[in-house]
Every structure is written in structure tokens, then in C-alpha cells.
Amino acid sequence: MFSEKVNRFRHSLAFRLTILYMGIFTVLIFAAFYVFYQATISRISARTDNEMEVEMKECSLILASKGTEAINEHINEEVKSSGIDDRFFRLVTTGGEEILSSDIGPWKELSINRNAVKNLTKNSPVFETIKLPTRKYKVRVIYGMVDSGMVLQIVHTLADDEQIFQDLRVLFSILIPVFIVLTSFGGWFMAKRSLSSVEQVTQTAMAIADGAMEKRVPLTGRGDEIDRLSGIFNNMLERIQSLIAEMKEVTDNIAHDLRSPITRIRGLAEVTLISEKNIEEYQSMAESTVEECDRLLSMINMMLEISETEAGVSTLSLSEVNVSDLIEEACDLYQPLAEEKNILIEINIPAQYQLTGDKGKLQRVLANLLDNAIKYTPPSGKIIVSSEEVDKKVMLSVYDTGIGISQDETSRIFERFYRADKSRSVPGAGLGLSLVQAIVRSHGGEIKVSSAPGAGSTFTVSLPLAAIS
């Protein structure tokens, strides 16, 4: 059990992020300390060289103004003040012959670098750093031309500088592990803080998997990526819950709408079986059964068509469609049905418009709208079908003087199987307007309704005009 927890921890995202943070911080710490160490070395070395150059110029001035006795006295005083182990002076000819020097005792192994002397110029001293066998620390040497034919060698021990560098290395060797440990804790804190919202999403998903569909991920309000992900996740959950509710409603409606024709089919069959068996009764039952089956098939086919159209699975046979022809053909088709109820169909087409769309599906849109208008318009009523251009869109309107729709119901009439109270007495499955909306949206358009009880209804379809080539 313990090994499983350890293994799960090692493979967790928080652990891997911690290792990543610690690795990045460690590299940065090493880089920062290295830059600081090199800068310190460079600064201290530059200061030492500058001091030696100043000392070289001072000796050159004394020699030029007061001679060798004065320079000898000066260098002995300098050595006495700093210590014979820390500083050494030697004045030689360009050929390497010694003229004078400070106490040579601790510096017997120090020789003259003839290459350095050879490369000297009046204003260009030569530096070198050497390691003497009997000394723990390195020494810094400067050669400078102090007078015609004379070269001054000044030697400084680097013991103090080397001690500073060693102290820095010791300090870094202590601080770097401490910083690495601190960064590991900091990395773990940052990883857990960064993944806290992810953990909340996980917990919410697990709760939803157990059936708690009302659960939502709490938002922090920070507006970061995880917060936006949580918001999108919550929106997705809202949509899923809405779809589940819609599916349940559709399922209930389907069960209700399928039950009626199936019950009628069974009733016809039962009545026929228990009554006297003659050919006319069987023929009547068969005709009624075929009629109910056609109604069922029509309902199922329309549901499938709506689903395919909404999902974008149904392909559109696009072509140039003349709006005037579309309206006139639809009105001609429904003219006989309107005449049976003494309903006047009026066409108002002020101009010619062209659409790019599926003519067959657009015909179904107008057909469904005209069919509904005729169904719900009392005899001697009126229907007006018109078109106009608004903002590079063609607006197709179907107005009727029918029974109208209440404000509460207009927001739901495009739902599948929904039927307004006043329309329940008229045959229908409540799928026509759902199909109309699906087709219109698949063409990049929208459909709206304006209605009031007793004042008729106006359905307006907006579709993009065809691009002018």
C-alpha cells in the first residue's frame, strides 16, 4: 500500500513540476553565483593591478627626480610597512643585471622574466601571475620601464585575494544546497498552488461521474488559464445538463407521440379480431394501420432529419436560388389548400434577390411556414408572403391573421414536440418549426417570430444574400 502511494506520488504532475522548478532554480542559482564569483575575481584583480601600476609610477617619479638612493630608501620603507613576505622590489638593467632590491630572503626563488622585460615599452607595463614552489598562494608581478636602461620589478603576494576567493567558494558551497532545499519546497508549493484548481476540476468530474450533475468547479476569480478552463468546464456541464434535460423531454414526448398511433393500431387490430371477420373489416383495418404507420414513419424521418441538420451531418446541395421563384412556387403549391378555407394568399416581392443555398430545403422552410399559417388562420383570413433586403440579408416574412401565440409560448415553439395550447386541437407532431429552424441555421440564417393572441403571427427568416461575382 505504501509503495503504491509512493509510486503514485512519483508519477504525479505536482512531483514532476516540483523537479522541473527545482532544476530551473538550481541552474539559475549556479549561474548567478558563478557570475557573481567571476565578477568579484575580476574586480579584485583589477584593483590589485591598478594599485601596482600606481606604485610603479610613484617609483618612476622618485627615481627620475632623486636617483637610486632615494628609490632604494622608498622601497625599503614600503616593504617594512607591508612585510617582507608580502612585497618585493627589484631594479635591474634591461640586460637583467640587478642594481638594487628589497630584502631578497623570502624571494630567493623569484627570477627575472626576460621575455617580459624584452616586451616592455615606456608606457606599457607587463603583468604576470606565478606560483612559487615554497609559497602557498600565487604572486602578482609587474615589470615597468622606470628610466632609460632600467626596469623595476614589483611583486605582491595574492594571499589576501586568494583568501577572499576561498571564503567565497566556501560560502557558496554552503548557500547553494540551502537554496536548492528552499527551492524544492518553493517548487512544491507553486506546483500544488498551480494544480489546486485542476484538482477541483478532477473532484468535480468524479462527483459528476457518480451522478451529481449539479456540481460545478468553484472559480477563483484570478482570471488565469486554470480559471478560464474551470469556466469552460462549467459551461460545458451546463450545456450537458441542458442537453440531458432536452433529451429526457424529447424522450418523453416521443413516448407520448408514438404511444397514440401505436395504441390506435392495436385497437383497430383488436376490434377487428373480436368482430365478425369479413374482408371489408380486414381491409379497413389494413388501411388504417398503413395510415398510422405512415404517420409514425413521417415523424421518425423528420426527427432524424432535424438531428442530422443540427449536427451538420446533412449535406446541402448548394446552388443559386431566386427568391421570387421560391416564394411563388411555394404559394402556388398551397393555393388550393388556402382556397378550401377561403384564405387569401398575397405576395409582396419588391425586387429580385439571389441566395446561395439548398433549394429543396429552402422550399421546405416556406412550405412548413405556409402550412402552419393556413392551419391556424380562420376562414376568410389573409396570409402575406414578402421579401426585402436588410444589411446584405434577404428577409422572408410569412404573416397571417390567425389565432396568434402568447408571449410565453413564442420562446418555445421551435422546441421539438412543443405545441401551443391553442394548437393542440389541430393535427401535428410539433416538429415542423424545429426542422425550419435547423434548416435556416444550416444556411447561416436566423428565424424569428412576432405574435400576439388573436392578432396573428409573423415569421421572419433572414438569410445571407449571394455574393456578387
Given a cut of 70, whether residue 347 has pLDDT beyond it is yes
Q: Within 13 A of 49's CA, how many CA atoms are on the CB side?
A: 12
Question: Cα 228 from chain centroid?
Answer: 9
Helix (H) or strand (E) holding 17: helix 13-66
Which tens digit of pLDDT belongs to each residue from 349-377?
A: 887 888 888 888 888 888 888 888 888 88
Q: What is the pTM of this model?
A: 0.47
425 in helix, strand or coil?
coil
d(CA 361, CA 463): 13
Please state the rounded mean pLDDT for residues 28-55: 89
Given a cut of 90, whether residue 89 has pLDDT beyond it is yes
User: What is the side-by-side strand order in the sheet with 87-93?
Assistant: 98-101, 87-93, 150-157, 139-147, 126-130
Closest CA relative to residue 258, chosen from 297, 212, 228: 297
The per-residue pLDDT for 389 is 85
- CATH topology assigned to domain 13-163: Beta-Lactamase (3.30.450)
Q: Which has the higher per-residue pLDDT, 454 or 383?
A: 383
Which tens digit of pLDDT belongs to each residue from 272-290?
A: 667 666 677 667 777 777 7
User: What is the side-by-side strand order in the sheet with 446-451?
Assistant: 344-348, 382-390, 393-400, 457-464, 446-451
Question: Residue 295: exposed, middle, or buried by beta-carbon count in 10 A (0-12, 13-18, 19+)?
Answer: middle
The CA-based angle 107-108-114, given to 5 degrees, is 90
Residue 116's pLDDT band (cuts 50, 70, 90): confident
The DSSP-derived string for 57-83 is: HHHHHHHHHH-HHHHHHHHHHHHHHH-
412 in helix, strand or coil?
coil
The per-residue pLDDT for 425 is 47
- CATH topology assigned to domain 225-311: Helix Hairpins (1.10.287)
The rounded mean pLDDT for the chain is 80
The DSSP-derived string for 112-130 is: --HHHHHT-BTTB-EEEEE
CATH number belonging to domain 318-464 = 3.30.565.10
Residue 469's pLDDT band (cuts 50, 70, 90): very low
Given a cut of 70, whether residue 19 has pLDDT beyond it is yes
- First-to-last alpha carbon distance for the chain, in angstroms, is 72
Given a cut of 70, whether residue 237 has pLDDT beyond it is yes
The residues spanned by each domain of the chain are 13-163, 225-311, 318-464
High-pLDDT (> 70) share of the chain, %: 80
Given a cut of 80, whether residue 226 has pLDDT beyond it is no
The per-residue pLDDT for 373 is 87
| Contact by Cβ (8 Å): 90, 119 | no
